[in-house]
Structure 1
Amino acid sequence: MTSQSSDGSLDGHLALQEWATRHGGSLDGSVQLARDDSRGVHIQVKPDRASAVPRGTCVIKTPLSLTMSYFDAIDYTSLKDPSIESPFSSHGVKLPRGFIDAVGPQETTAFFLMGHYLKGKESFWYPYIRTLPPPGELTTPLYYEGEDLEWLQGTSLYAARQQRLEIWKDKYETDIKALKEWGFNDAERYTWDVYLWASTIIASRAFTAKVLAGVIELSALPEDTISVLLPLVDVTNHRPLARVEWQAGNEKIGLAVMEDTAAGREVGNNYGPRSNEQLMMNYGFCIPENLCDYRVVSLRAPPGSPLYEAKIQQKQAFPETGSKEDQYYVFNVSYPLLAPDTSLEHSIFSPDLFGAVSVLSANDREFETLEITKDGVKIPSAPHGNSRNILASLSQIVIELITHIVKLKSSGQSLQEPRNLKQTHAKIYRDSQVMLSETAIVIAEWTLARARHQNAQALLPDSYLSRIPTDKFSEEATARIKSKLTQSKSLLRKEGELLQFSEVFALLPQEIQGPCRECLRSILSHAKQFIAPSPPENASGPLGYAVLICLLSSIYRSAGSSTEKSQLPPRLARWFDILLDTYQPPPEDVSWVLPDEEDEEMLGAFEEIVETLRRRKPTLFSSVSHLTGDWEGDAWWLSPNWLRWAWMLAEQEVVNVVDDPLQIVTSKSLGSGGPVALSTSPYLYIPQAESP
Structure 2
Amino acid sequence: MAVSAAGARARDLVSWFESNGGQKSLAVELAEDEQHAFHFRALSDVDSQESASKFKICSCPTTLSLSYLNIIPVGEKVLDGVSVRFCGGNLTPLWDVVPSHILSRFVLLEQTALKDHSFWAPYINALPTAFDTLMYFEPEDLKWLDGTNLDTFRNIRHSLWTSEYHLVMRALRERGIDSSQFSWDSYVWAASMYTSRGFDSTLVFPNLELDRFSVLYPFLDSLNHDSNARVDWDMKSDAFTLSTHETLKKGDEIFNNYGSKGNEELLAGYGFCIPKNPFEQVAVRLGGLIPPIKQIIRENHILDPKDMTEDDFGRDLYLRAPDCKLGRYDNHHSWLGGIPPLLFKVALGIYLYTTSRPENLRYDRLDAKPGRHIIGAVRQLLQVLEVRRQKIAGGAPTSEPANTRQHYARIYRNGQLSVVNCNIAELRKVLPQFVGERSTVLSPSSILTTRDAITQLETENPDAARAFVEGVNKVLVDPMNAAEMQAADCEDIVWVFWLTYAYVLTENNPPSKIHAWLRNLRAFYKFKLRDFDSGVEEAYVPPAYPFAAEKIAEVAGELGGAWTTCTERKDVIFWAAEVVQFEAWQVFVHEDDKNGGVEEERESRWVMYMDEEA
What interval of TM-score do these two structures reach, taking the shorter chain for normalisation? 0.7 to 0.9
User: Amino acid of the residue matched to residue 20 of structure 1?
Assistant: F
Measured at CA, do residues 53 and 78 of structure 1 come closer, stay the same or move farther in structure 2, by a change above 3 Å? farther
User: Amino acid of the residue matched to residue 276 of structure 1?
Assistant: N
1:684 is aligned to: 608
Residue 418 in structure 1 maps to residue 401 in structure 2: yes
| C-alpha distance in structure 2 between counterparts of 1:321 and 1:183, whole Å | 45
Measured at CA, do residues 453 and 46 of structure 1 come closer, stay the same or move farther in structure 2, by a change above 3 Å? farther
1:127 is aligned to: 122
From 60, 63, 81, give the equivalent of 2:61. Answer: 63
Residue 655 in structure 1 maps to residue 605 in structure 2: no
| C-alpha distance in structure 2 between counterparts of 1:264 and 1:298, whole Å | 44
Measured at CA, do residues 369 and 449 of structure 1 come closer, stay the same or move farther in structure 2, by a change above 3 Å? farther
| C-alpha distance in structure 2 between counterparts of 1:158 and 1:187, whole Å | 32
Contiguous gaps of at least 5 residues in structure 1: 1-5, 460-491, 561-565, 622-631, 664-669, 671-675
Residue 640 in structure 1 maps to residue 562 in structure 2: no
| C-alpha distance in structure 2 between counterparts of 1:95 and 1:320, whole Å | 43
| C-alpha distance in structure 1 between counterparts of 2:602 and 2:207, whole Å | 55
What is the deviation of 1:123?
A: 0.9
1:473 is aligned to: none
| C-alpha distance in structure 1 between counterparts of 2:202 and 2:368, whole Å | 44
Checking the alignment, whether the CA contact within 8 Å between 1:34 and 1:43 is kept in structure 2 is: yes
User: Amino acid of the residue matched to residue 406 of structure 2?
Assistant: Q
Mapping 1:365-444, distance limit 5 Å: 365=355, 384-409=371-396, 412-413=397-398, 416-444=399-427
2:259 is aligned to: 272
From 149, 161, 164, give the equivalent of 1:171. Answer: 164
Checking the alignment, whether the CA contact within 8 Å between 1:240 and 1:272 is kept in structure 2 is: yes
2:28 is aligned to: 31
| C-alpha distance in structure 1 between counterparts of 2:46 and 2:244, whole Å | 16
What is the deviation of 1:593?
A: 9.2
What is the deviation of 1:199?
A: 1.4
Checking the alignment, whether the CA contact within 8 Å between 1:528 and 1:536 is kept in structure 2 is: no
Residue 104 in structure 1 maps to residue 99 in structure 2: yes
Measured at CA, do residues 220 and 265 of structure 1 come closer, stay the same or move farther in structure 2, by a change above 3 Å? same
2:448 is aligned to: 499
| C-alpha distance in structure 2 between counterparts of 1:116 and 1:101, whole Å | 19
What is the deviation of 1:142?
A: 0.9
Residue 523 in structure 1 maps to residue 512 in structure 2: no
Checking the alignment, whether the CA contact within 8 Å between 2:389 and 2:417 is kept in structure 1 is: no
1:189 is aligned to: 181
Checking the alignment, whether the CA contact within 8 Å between 2:587 and 2:606 is kept in structure 1 is: no
- After superposition, give the CA deviation of every residue in 1:134-156 in whole Å (9 maximum; x if it has no partner): 1xx32112122243344334443
User: Amino acid of the residue matched to residue 197 of structure 2?
Assistant: R
User: Amino acid of the residue matched to residue 57 of structure 1?
Assistant: F
2:337 is aligned to: 347
2:141 is aligned to: 148
What is the deviation of 1:295?
A: 2.3
What is the deviation of 1:12?
A: 2.0
1:14 is aligned to: 11
What is the deviation of 1:74?
A: 0.8
Q: Tell which deviates more after alignment, 420-429 or 447-456.
A: 447-456
User: Amino acid of the residue matched to residue 70 of structure 2?
Assistant: D
From 263, 267, 281, give the equivalent of 1:294. Answer: 281
Aligned length: 593
2:596 is aligned to: none
2:595 is aligned to: none
1:485 is aligned to: none
Q: Percent identity?
A: 21
Mapping 1:438-457, distance limit 5 Å: 438-449=421-432
User: Amino acid of the residue matched to residue 521 of structure 1?
Assistant: V
Measured at CA, do residues 264 and 192 of structure 1 come closer, stay the same or move farther in structure 2, by a change above 3 Å? same
What is the deviation of 1:347?
A: 3.2
User: Amino acid of the residue matched to residue 349 of structure 1?
Assistant: I
Partner SS for 2:253? coil
Measured at CA, do residues 104 and 301 of structure 1 come closer, stay the same or move farther in structure 2, by a change above 3 Å? closer
Measured at CA, do residues 529 and 453 of structure 1 come closer, stay the same or move farther in structure 2, by a change above 3 Å? closer
Contiguous gaps of at least 5 residues in structure 2: 593-598
User: Amino acid of the residue matched to residue 460 of structure 2?
Assistant: I
1:483 is aligned to: none
| C-alpha distance in structure 2 between counterparts of 1:390 and 1:123, whole Å | 60
| C-alpha distance in structure 1 between counterparts of 2:590 and 2:75, whole Å | 63
Q: Tell which deviates more after alignment, 647-656 or 589-598.
A: 589-598
| C-alpha distance in structure 2 between counterparts of 1:277 and 1:501, whole Å | 44
Partner SS for 1:68? coil
Partner SS for 2:241? strand
User: Amino acid of the residue matched to residue 90 of structure 1?
Assistant: F
User: Amino acid of the residue matched to residue 337 of structure 1?
Assistant: L
- After superposition, give the CA deviation of every residue in 1:444-489 in whole Å (9 maximum; x if it has no partner): 3333219976755xx6xxxxxxxxxxxxxxxxxxxxxxxxxxxxxx
1:220 is aligned to: 209
- After superposition, give the CA deviation of every residue in 1:50-106 in whole Å (9 maximum; x if it has no partner): 666857333221111111122212145568999x8x631223535232x22221322
What is the deviation of 1:190?
A: 2.0
Mapping 1:551-562, distance limit 5 Å: 551-554=501-504, 556-559=506-509
| C-alpha distance in structure 1 between counterparts of 2:220 and 2:572, whole Å | 74
What is the deviation of 1:646?
A: 5.1
From 187, 198, 211, give the equivalent of 2:190. Answer: 198
What is the deviation of 1:442?
A: 2.6
Partner SS for 2:30? strand
2:520 is aligned to: 578
Measured at CA, do residues 550 and 194 of structure 1 come closer, stay the same or move farther in structure 2, by a change above 3 Å? closer
Residue 547 in structure 1 maps to residue 497 in structure 2: yes
1:480 is aligned to: none
| C-alpha distance in structure 2 between counterparts of 1:514 and 1:39, whole Å | 81
| C-alpha distance in structure 2 between counterparts of 1:369 and 1:259, whole Å | 58
| C-alpha distance in structure 1 between counterparts of 2:194 and 2:493, whole Å | 62
What is the deviation of 1:547?
A: 3.4
Partner SS for 1:103? coil
What is the deviation of 1:408?
A: 1.3
Partner SS for 1:246? strand
Checking the alignment, whether the CA contact within 8 Å between 2:112 and 2:124 is kept in structure 1 is: yes
Checking the alignment, whether the CA contact within 8 Å between 2:450 and 2:495 is kept in structure 1 is: yes
| C-alpha distance in structure 2 between counterparts of 1:80 and 1:271, whole Å | 28
Partner SS for 2:57? strand
Measured at CA, do residues 198 and 173 of structure 1 come closer, stay the same or move farther in structure 2, by a change above 3 Å? same
TM-score by length of 1: 0.73
What is the deviation of 1:234?
A: 0.8
What is the deviation of 1:8?
A: 7.8
User: Amino acid of the residue matched to residue 109 of structure 1?
Assistant: S
- After superposition, give the CA deviation of every residue in 1:519-576 in whole Å (9 maximum; x if it has no partner): 432222212269798468999723322333345445544445xxxxx3x24xx45433
TM-score by length of 2: 0.81
What is the deviation of 1:657?
A: 3.3
Checking the alignment, whether the CA contact within 8 Å between 2:500 and 2:573 is kept in structure 1 is: no
